[in-house]
């Protein structure tokens, strides 16, 4: 690991990243969503879950360590994932800042209420709760950032 945020490169997803992105997406979901049955998750979920989305990747020494996927037409952040070995290095913030610089504000996203780490991150970044909903028996919170 031993990377600093200044050494992290952000760029658009390339075809050569797909295998690493699939693995990262699967592993982080399995580590994060411990309250549900993660045995149903597969490597190909990445392809289905991000189809048609604009994706930026974070690279540490040419290794994919994070990504953000966005529905551009709605400025909706659908996914933001960082390898657990690279948490607390500012990578999530760097991905978020880079996408906001590209698409502008406001941006919105949904976060599962039980995902306390992500909720704390988004709250710290200035996102505010707009509405709550239910999806697959899970409470989600729609958050927005306006400035």
Give the pLDDT mean for 40-44.
97
Confidence of residue 1 (pLDDT cuts 50, 70, 90): low
Long-range contacts of 59-62 (CB under 8 A, 24+ apart): 59/8, 59/9, 59/10, 59/11, 60/1, 60/3, 60/7, 60/8, 60/86, 61/3, 61/7
Domain range annotation of the chain: 5-104
Q: Using CA atoms, how far apart are residues 119 and 139, in angstroms rounded to an integer?
A: 12
pLDDT in tens, 72-90: 999 999 999 999 999 999 9
pLDDT of 29 over the 70 cut: yes
**Does 3.40.50.410 match the CATH number of domain 5-104?**
no
Q: Is the pTM of this model over 0.85?
A: yes
49-69: burial string, b at 16+ Cβ within 10 Å, e else: ebeebbbbbbbbeeebbbbbb
What integer pLDDT is reported at residue 135 of this predicted model?
A: 87
pLDDT in tens, 7-24: 999 999 999 999 999 999
Percent of the chain with pLDDT over 70: 98
The HSE-up count of residue 60 (CA atoms within 13 Å, CB side) is 19
pLDDT in tens, 89-101: 999 999 999 999 9
């Amino acid at each position: 690991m031993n990377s600093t945020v200044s050494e992290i490169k952000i760029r658009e997803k390339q075809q050569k990243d797909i295998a690493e992105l699939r693995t990262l997406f699967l592993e982080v979901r399995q580590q994060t969503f411990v309250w549900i049955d993660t045995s149903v998750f597969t490597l190909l979920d990445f392809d289905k879950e991000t189809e048609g989305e604009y994706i930026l990747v974070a690279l540490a020494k040419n290794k994919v360590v994070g990504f953000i996927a966005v529905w551009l037409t709605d400025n909706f952040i659908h996914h933001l994932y960082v390898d657990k070995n690279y948490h607390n290095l500012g990578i999530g913030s760097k991905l978020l800042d880079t996408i906001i610089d590209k698409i502008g504000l406001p941006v919105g996203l949904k976060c599962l209420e039980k995902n306390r780490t992500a909720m704390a991150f988004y709250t710290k970044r200035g996102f505010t709760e707009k509405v709550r909903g239910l999806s697959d028996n899970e409470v989600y919170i729609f958050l927005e950032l306006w400035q």
